[in-house]
Structure 1
Amino acid sequence: MARTGLRGAAATIGILTLLATGGASTAAASVPATPPATAAPAVDAAGQQCTPNKRVLTPGPSYLIERLGLAEAWTLSRGRGVTVAVVDSGVEAGNVHLSGALVPGRSTFGDGSARADDDLFGHGTAIAGLIAARRVEGSGVVGIAPEAKIMPVRVFESAPEDGQSSRDLTPPSAGSVSAGIRWAADHGAQIINVSLSDDRALPQYRSAVAYAHARGSLVIASAGNRNTANADRPDPAHFYPGELDGAIAVSGVLKNGDWDPGSSYAGEHVDIAAPGQSMPSAYISGGDCVFNGDSASSSYATAVVSGAAALVAARFPDESPDQWAFRLTQSAMRVSPAERSDTVGWGEVRPAAALALVDDGALPGPPSAVHPAPSSAPPESRTIPIDPVADPLQPARTIVGWTLGAGAMVSTIVLLLARARARRLRD
């Protein structure tokens, strides 16, 4: 998520604008029943804009299911038993896809009395839907981890009034985001989704991520969106909390897997990538919406990786956050297994491969979280001798040779004497 520069704990973070800027659209009007799966087109971003007061369901299957191999992943894990905190604008509890999916949350700004299960902006609800939306009749929207729980942690201090754009939104502060990360860790969230970012390494972020990590939580955050960033931001830039130790920074790619330089930042901070274009998810209308039809948002990509992390944490509950992160990055799809890039990190997330990964310490790519790095000691040098090697049988061969030679000489002498005697007798 894009950010403005922070000046102190009360400074604000620039919010990734999505809904009011034409980033959201829907593929179909409300439908009364579920059509046959073979007849429904994949959800796309072509169509009318999402309307907050009009519930719309998109019947076509999400392209994410095939793109990410989710059918295979769901045979191993569906996220049951895992709680994912959504540190964002709140989550609309009334959305049909999130019925029964929410656990108690909290607001971390002001006196904390604002409802976390209410979302006037829509961003947090979309993030929650991508992570854990339940299937409903008449809709193809489903989360990456459809049996995980969502913990809403509201850090947005206000929402736009009627007639205002999302740019009029008062965004969260570094203090409210950091407090949200801590609160989520204290209340049992194994995965903490932070679909926003900041270009200042304030101590709050480092402390909050370390705090969460120590309590067994993995923070997954945006690697930054170029098309909603400040024009004067340096390139490359820093993006916190994603690039901190104990967190994963996620870049967004287009539907076909291509990295889009017009919408994403590249840099050493990028750990992994996921789709961020044409994202079908839950909306504050109570139904569906397809977000970001024209570009790849790292905000939504972060939610995809958080969903994949929930699948991993559910299947391997005894592993550490570092081991979950290793599974995600090591199994990601990339051109060269041993190399990362500044655009997509270790590659595009592949949940099924992460669930099936066997870490023996010998895999090329990111270092194992539990095995030591392979030894890089140089091979032992070996000197090739040039002196002749003594033959241990040579003495015996010498004796035999002399014996045979002496025998031959004696035989020759005897033969010559015999011939000489024979001549004397003839004479």
Structure 2
Amino acid sequence: MKKLNSLAAVLTAGAILLSALPGSAKADEEQDRRKASLFGGSASRSGTLASLSENSSEIVVKTKISASQLTKKFGVKLLATPEVLKEQGIFAVKVPKSKNFKSVLSDMKNSSSITSAEENMKGEGKGFGYTLPNDPYLNNQWHLSKIGMPVLWKNYSLKNKVKVAVVDSGVDATQPDLSGQLLKGYDFYSKDSNPNDTLGHGTAVAGVIAAKANNGVGVAGVNPLAQIIPIRVSASKSINSVDALAGLSYAIKSGAKVINLSYGFPAPNSIEFDIIYEAYRKGIVVVAASGNDGKSVNYPAGYPTVISVGSTGKNDAVSKFSSYGGALDLVAPGENIATTMMNKRYGIGSGTSFSAPIVTGVASLVLSAAPNLNPIEVEYLLEKGAAKLSSSKNGWSTKAGFGRVDAARTFQTDFPSIKNDSGNVRSKARKVTLNKAYSDRYDYSGDSDWYSLKVTKNMKVRVDVSGVTNIDSDVWMDQYANGKSVSPVQYDRAKISGKESFTRTLKPGTYYFEVYDANNHWSQQNYSFKVTALDTTAPKTPIVYKVKSRDLIIKGKAEKNSSLLLKKGSSVLAKGTASSTGTFSVKLKTRQAKGTVLYLTAADKSGNKSKATKIVVQP
């Protein structure tokens, strides 16, 4: 057996990237920025009341007050809530029929006593269906050869076991290929410590990841070294927010290094975002299915700190059912995947529910080889090592992400050089000067570049970040005082590949700018960052020569090349432009009567306007 070569060789380089993962001291600030990018506006508020499902009556709320105070203040009834959520101040409540659900939810979202409030949505488990042939599928696992597993089996010797949480419908512990592969789990659906599967979905997902290999029975998992932590959150083709949140929290506390989420909700949830970000902060890789409705990527797959996975068939064509969009990261085989089933049986499953665990399996293989890698590094290796299905500059597309996962290529992938990268934390921000362009890249998954600008006088500036193919550039701008972000503002006006540009009026002080991709994507294409000083001095008041009632031309002098606007009351009579020497001639359409009062203003190219010159028409 060969020892690890390329992946092992980058372990020392990995230490360079480790600082990219937010440490506890700055994680809250970074979390707020990414949250604002996703939800918009204040990072502590989210959601839209217009998207509520019919017959909504339950809310998941993260509160700063006690449960009794919560129910009294908003007139809601406390529902049974897992202890793992209560510890975080998260509760499920029911709005009485006598109250208006939208009004209560709105009151909670706008209350200073509430951190987050979201509808307790029901997520669809589309793709749970599968056929159950009578014969085993050991020789039908086309996905294993497709992602290069035979190369790993032949050339690499891995020994480190990796804990993988499967938040799903539970796992059938009697399945022979999963015997000895399961650790202690929990059932949040039945509220006991026996996460036994009654649906079959979780058992199938677990088998794709960790079914025993070379035991002469059934099928082989992508990573037989994975130890599955079964967490049951559903017993049907739907799942509610509270159980999903509890399952995620339990996975984090259980010591999982990878979490697989083969379910989806139609909209983001700020509480779910926070819990997943906590996993990311603690170095846990989170992988989720993109969805099976052939539309936009579902959540939690849509969060930037989650590796979202779509589906492909045997010929690498993206599956028609595979959900796609700007948040998609990778694709993996998801059609006719042979795996473990309940009752000691085997069968096949189709859907992104089975694509995600293939990526989870490869991610856990990477961590088996290099346990100290963080989520940023693991994601980059998976994406950079993927088989490209797009000819774009960074190999990404909305349909296929960075391509189809390839385990063999992942193990031969190196990290990018970040020798000249701008600092990825505020304290290491690159100092910039006005009117000078700086070049950098979105070097790796989750890369962010910080810049600082010292301003010595009141001025107006324009900030420009050039567009990069397939990158959704975001710019965060603020000041920093007493350990806190001051007057933050976030810009994400352009679409993917577009340029970000905005103007701001600044007072003396130091300003910080963070540039990052909204979806944690990367590119080898450079972007430019530039802060341009704009003229804030208003033009001098125009000088107008005497105007008589018979005149059709008004002449005078104004700032060179300035734009002129002639008005009578609120009506615009004429426009003109001063010459390069400052002279102007503004033409009137009709003569003006004696005593008529007109006003003429000049504006420079920066938009600064002069005081108006009062003109009284002479006889």
Fold conserved between structures, TM > 0.5: yes
Cα distance per residue 1:210-256 (max 9 Å; x no partner): 111122111100111027xxxxxxx4x35111121221110011122
Cα distance per residue 1:288-318 (max 9 Å; x no partner): 11223xxxx1110001000011001111111
The 1-side partners of 2:302 and 2:277 are apart by 12
Cα 1:202/1:369, change in 2 over 3 Å: closer
Cα distance per residue 1:28-48 (max 9 Å; x no partner): 53xxxxxxxxxxxxxxxxxxx
Match of 1:34 in 2: none
Match of 2:407 in 1: 351
Matched, 1:155 2:233: yes
Q: 1:54-203, aligned counterparts within 5 Å? A: 57-60=136-139, 62-74=141-153, 75-76=155-156, 78=158, 80-109=160-189, 112-113=191-192, 115-116=194-195, 118-135=196-213, 137-139=215-217, 141-156=219-234, 158=235, 169=236, 171-203=238-270
Query: Is the 1:79–1:313 Cα contact (8 Å) retained in structure 2?
Result: no
Paired-residue identity, %: 26
Query: Is the 1:76–1:355 Cα contact (8 Å) retained in structure 2?
Result: no
Cα distance per residue 1:41-96 (max 9 Å; x no partner): xxxxxxxxxxxxxxxx3342521232111022233365732111000000111101
From 337, 340, 343, the equivalent of 1:285 is: 343
Cα 1:170/1:255, change in 2 over 3 Å: closer
How far is 1:287 from its partner?
2.9
Q: 1:317-336, aligned counterparts within 5 Å? A: 317-334=371-388, 335-336=390-391
- When normalised by structure 2's length, the TM-score is 0.48
Query: Is the 2:297–2:324 Cα contact (8 Å) retained in structure 1?
Result: no
**Aligned residue pair count:** 318
Cα 1:100/1:273, change in 2 over 3 Å: same
The 2-side partners of 1:149 and 1:268 are apart by 32
Range moving further from structure 2, 212-221 or 302-311: 212-221
Please give the secondary structure, in 1, of the residue aligned with 2:259: strand
From 292, 307, 327, the equivalent of 2:361 is: 307
Please give the secondary structure, in 1, of the residue aligned with 2:245: helix
Please give the secondary structure, in 2, of the residue aligned with 1:189: coil
Please give the secondary structure, in 2, of the residue aligned with 1:280: strand
Question: Could you say which structure has the higher strand fraction?
Answer: 2
How far is 1:331 from its partner?
1.0
The 1-side partners of 2:161 and 2:216 are apart by 27
Please give the secondary structure, in 1, of the residue aligned with 2:239: coil
Query: Is the 2:290–2:309 Cα contact (8 Å) retained in structure 1?
Result: yes
How far is 1:180 from its partner?
1.0
Amino acid at match of 1:108: F
Gaps of 5+ in 2: 1-51, 61-119, 419-440, 450-523, 530-619
How far is 1:257 from its partner?
1.1
The 2-side partners of 1:280 and 1:5 are apart by 35
- When normalised by structure 1's length, the TM-score is 0.69
The 1-side partners of 2:157 and 2:400 are apart by 25
From 204, 208, 213, the equivalent of 2:275 is: 208
Match of 1:18 in 2: 128
Amino acid at match of 1:193: N
Match of 1:36 in 2: none
Cα distance per residue 1:2-29 (max 9 Å; x no partner): xx9595333321222433xxx2232x53
Please give the secondary structure, in 2, of the residue aligned with 1:188: coil
Match of 1:368 in 2: 444
Cα 1:136/1:286, change in 2 over 3 Å: farther
Matched, 1:338 2:405: no
Cα 1:103/1:88, change in 2 over 3 Å: same
Amino acid at match of 2:394: A
The 2-side partners of 1:218 and 1:258 are apart by 26
The 2-side partners of 1:85 and 1:79 are apart by 19
The 2-side partners of 1:64 and 1:279 are apart by 7
Range moving further from structure 2, 312-321 or 120-129: 312-321
From 276, 282, 286, the equivalent of 1:219 is: 286
* Bigger-Rg structure (1/2): 1
Question: Could you say which structure has the higher helix fraction?
Answer: 1
Cα distance per residue 1:346-394 (max 9 Å; x no partner): 00001121122111337xx97325988776569xxxxxxxxxxxxxxxx
Please give the secondary structure, in 1, of the residue aligned with 2:260: strand
Amino acid at match of 1:65: L
From 240, 243, 246, the equivalent of 2:302 is: 243
Please give the secondary structure, in 2, of the residue aligned with 1:172: strand
Range moving further from structure 2, 128-137 or 345-354: 128-137
Cα 1:77/1:149, change in 2 over 3 Å: farther
Query: Is the 1:333–1:350 Cα contact (8 Å) retained in structure 2?
Result: yes
Matched, 1:316 2:394: no
The 2-side partners of 1:265 and 1:341 are apart by 13
The 2-side partners of 1:172 and 1:70 are apart by 33
Point out which structure has higher relative CO (alpha carbons under 8 A, 6+ apart): 1
Cα 1:144/1:238, change in 2 over 3 Å: closer
